Amino acid sequence: MRKTEKEIKDRAEIESIINRAEVCRIGLVDGNIPYIVPVNFGYKDNCLYFHCATEGNKLDILRRNNNVCFEVEADVKIVPSTERVCKWSTKYRSVIGLGKAFILDEWRERADALNTITGHYGAERYGFTEKELERVCIVKITISSMTGKKSGY
């Protein structure tokens, strides 16, 4: 990180940012073309989880190359300047990481992952049926590395 004074090294602070973030952006690579997609997500035990349709571009890409990156942010605020527009800035806390994505097949693991996702947004634990679980694809990202950064805090 170029500006080391902005780096967050404390794991608890990094996880706090992840847990407060509302959207996760997943970066994929399709051949030599980057592809990024925002997802609803959950975080548990150094893994991210997201759900999607059972077919589509993101799954096609993941099946060819399961290397991913991700980004989340929290506490984002634009700080206007009364002087010039070039003096405006942004306060934020963010996390960027790398990992490998895997499509979950086992229904109990899928139900737990879906509860992790819905729990991230405040829902109570739910007993999903196998039929409900068949309608969605659940992806698990095992995180290999991540770094935190903050500006203005």
Range of the domain at 8: 4-147
Q: Is residue 153 part of a domain?
A: no
pLDDT at residue number 44: 98
Q: Is residue 20 part of a domain?
A: yes
C-alpha angle with apex 95: 43 to 55, nearest 5 degrees? 55
pLDDT at residue number 1: 64
139 in Cβ contact with 102 (< 8 Å): yes
CATH number of the domain where residue 94 is located: 2.30.110.10
Q: Which of 94-108, 124-138, 139-153 has the lowest mean pLDDT?
A: 124-138
| 114-127 pLDDT tens trace | 999 999 999 998 88
Task: Please state the φ and ψ torsions of residue 65, each to the nearest 5 degrees.
Answer: -155, 105
| 16-52 pLDDT tens trace | 999 999 999 999 999 999 999 999 999 999 999 999 9
Q: Is residue 130 part of a domain?
A: yes
Q: Is residue 152 part of a domain?
A: no
pLDDT at residue number 111: 96
| 38-95 pLDDT tens trace | 999 999 999 999 999 999 999 999 999 999 999 999 999 999 988 888 889 999 999 9
pLDDT at residue number 23: 97
